[in-house]
Amino acid sequence: MSTGKKLFALTLVVLIALIAVGQFGHGGSGDPGGTKTSAYSTPTKGSVNDDLATGPKNVPVSQVGVNKLANETGHLRVSINFTWLLITGFLVLFMQVGFAFLVTGLTRAKNAGHMMMMNIAAFAVALLVYYVVGFAFQFGGVAPIANIGNTAPLNGIFGHGTAGVIGLHGFFLQSGNSYDVGVVAFFLFQVVFMETAGYIIIGAIAERVSFAGFLVAEVALAAVIYPVYGMWVWGGGWLAQLGNSIGWGHGAVDFAGSGVVHATGGWIALALAMILGPRIGKYRRDGSVRAFPGHNLGYAVIGTLILLFGWMGFNPGSTFGSTDLRISIVAVNTLLSACAGAVAAMAWTNAKWGKPDISMTCNGMLAGLVAITAPCAFVAPWAAVLIGIVAGFLVCYSVQFLDSRARVDDPCGAISVHGVCGVWGLLAVGLFADGTYPAAGWNGVAGPVKGLFYGDVGQLGAQMIDIVVGFIWAWGMAWIIFSLAKRFVKVRVSPEVELEGTDAGEFGQVCYPDFVQVTETDARLQDDDLALPYLTAEEQVGVAPAHVGQPVGAAPHDTG
């Protein structure tokens, strides 16, 4: 049987298993009909009754009527929050489009189809994987989410008290009675967040990763790397519990995922880019760095603006409900930081290179967005501007550093935007959180979240632990998994495919068949190319001039 047929059979088996396994666990205490969710069991019950109890005494109140009213109010409250959660989730889903535009625009025309294919495949594959295991690992034991009716089935956790390490309910949206309207609404919102981390990695591995290698990375991300760290911070895990266990602030606080989503994606991208090596022609041993201009800066700008729009779901949606009126501040903080980041990058590149750089301005706006993602709910608008400005400068320095010093080839700046600025966002919570949010405690610690400048050093400490653990986990796991995968799967395309274009080489279809592509920035494989060590011996011989492999300076073979 050919490899293609084997893969087809395997795919069929997996897809059928998705259906079959979902059959187990029917008939539990979940609420698939949505009639019980929120009704009388929500926190609104108490307040409605209290108000009525202390109201005018001369109004005849029937207990049945009060119960009915409380029921309706509770149901309405949860309905409003459901609507908010789902619509913001759809906005986050739309970010996939923005990212597809961004990364395709920032790469060369000969790879445009490959970039787009990775974006759509990432979404489909990662979503199914997250449905099978990822969601359960991350949120199987999350604390009750009152805004959407308490998500009661998600109460399975591995690890006692403040030491939770992994969730256990919600496999196939079925185990632990998780076939439930609240749980599934929450799944929609969370799966699109995971997809965000999933497409971040594309930007850094573009133009040389093989489609197969990419899928391996994507599955690892969706099944293990993202959900497990996500559980530690968002799913009631040990990082979130640092406030309860060792008394450091409120534990790791990451409102919408500067760390959980962006830094994780960025650090995975870093590990993959390091294992893959640079694109052919990017670096040479003589120290030269070559730019490969993106083929459509218009795409890059469109993509960035779509991402900005989608972020209006990403951050404000992370309240899990519009009954939390902080959403207005979250949204405006997000815009302020994004614009400050874009302006900072524009000014910096203009000062440094003589002209404002279009793609770096895009990166600056995204840097501001990534950085404000963790602190957006906890800081004042002025702090949001400051956080954005710092992020805008940070991304410029980081892109320069990675490109020219560290020589990690990151075509779209994903590592700098998401990794570096994600870390800055986590740090910013520990600095600027001003103690106005939330009214109730965060992560089970009483009182609002405060940063260093508002008197809580412990919070900064918790953020730092979060940053270090997040880096070690995401980078380390990606490194281990991808290094192992490299032995079984060809993770980097052959030099012929890379030079011809991954569209034609990997798919036999090109994105722009009607155009002659003048690829003057394409490089030949030369004998001091820093991509050489990442190619196999045969590949080096196949494409490189005959004298490749000899010491530099040796005479070429006389080919007669």
Partner 1 sequence: MRAIVAIIKPHKLDDVTEALRDAGVQGMTITEVRGHGRQRGHSEVYRGAEYSVEFIPKLRLDVVVDDMDAEKVTDAIMAAGRTGKIGDGKIWLGPLDTVIRIRTGERDDDAI
Binding site for partner 1 (CB under 8 A): 289-293, 349, 352-355, 357, 359-360, 399-400, 403-404, 413, 518, 520-521
Instruction: Give min distance, CB of 206 to partner 1, in A.
Output: 14
Report the residue number, 33 or 354, with the smaller CB distance to partner 1.
354
What is the CA angle 348-309-139, rounded to 5? 105
Report the residue number, 354 or 551, with the smaller CB distance to partner 1.
354
DSSP, collapsed to helix, strand or coil, labels residue 196 as helix
Instruction: Give min distance, CB of 355 to partner 1, in A.
Output: 8
DSSP alpha helix (H) spans, 277-320: 297-314
Report the residue number, 57 or 355, with the smaller CB distance to partner 1.
355
Instruction: Give min distance, CB of 97 to partner 1, in A.
Output: 23
Q: Which of 51, 139, 83, 70 is nearest to 323 (CA)?
A: 83
Instruction: Give min distance, CB of 203 to partner 1, in A.
Output: 12
DSSP, collapsed to helix, strand or coil, labels residue 523 as coil
Report the residue number, 26 or 524, with the smaller CB distance to partner 1.
524
Instruction: Give min distance, CB of 337 to partner 1, in A.
Output: 22
Instruction: Give min distance, CB of 357 to partner 1, in A.
Output: 6
Report the residue number, 101 or 187, with the smaller CB distance to partner 1.
101
Residues with Cβ within 8 Å of 139's Cβ and at least 6 positions away in sequence, in order, are 154, 167, 170, 186, 190, 231, 234, 235
Instruction: Give min distance, CB of 99 to partner 1, in A.
Output: 18
Residues with Cβ within 8 Å of 21's Cβ and at least 6 positions away in sequence, in order, are 132, 171, 172, 174
With contact defined as beta carbons under 8 Å apart, do 201 and 221 qualify?
Answer: yes
Report the residue number, 341 or 451, with the smaller CB distance to partner 1.
341
With contact defined as beta carbons under 8 Å apart, do 394 and 339 qualify?
Answer: no
Cα diameter, the chain: 111
Report the residue number, 337 or 398, with the smaller CB distance to partner 1.
398
Instruction: Give min distance, CB of 344 to partner 1, in A.
Output: 15
Rounded CA separation 501/506 (Å): 8
Preceding amide of 438 cis, omega within 30: yes
Rounded CA separation 276/491 (Å): 7
Instruction: Give min distance, CB of 293 to partner 1, in A.
Output: 5
DSSP category for residue 445 = B
- CB atoms inside a 10 Å sphere around CB 58: 5
DSSP alpha helix (H) spans, 316-420: 327-353, 358-373, 381-400, 414
Rounded CA separation 379/478 (Å): 32
- CB atoms inside a 10 Å sphere around CB 162: 17
Residue type for position 278: P
Report the residue number, 167 or 364, with the smaller CB distance to partner 1.
364
Report the residue number, 44 or 111, with the smaller CB distance to partner 1.
111
- CB atoms inside a 10 Å sphere around CB 110: 23
DSSP, collapsed to helix, strand or coil, labels residue 24 as coil
Report the residue number, 521 or 536, with the smaller CB distance to partner 1.
521
Rounded CA separation 471/263 (Å): 8
Instruction: Give min distance, CB of 273 to partner 1, in A.
Output: 15
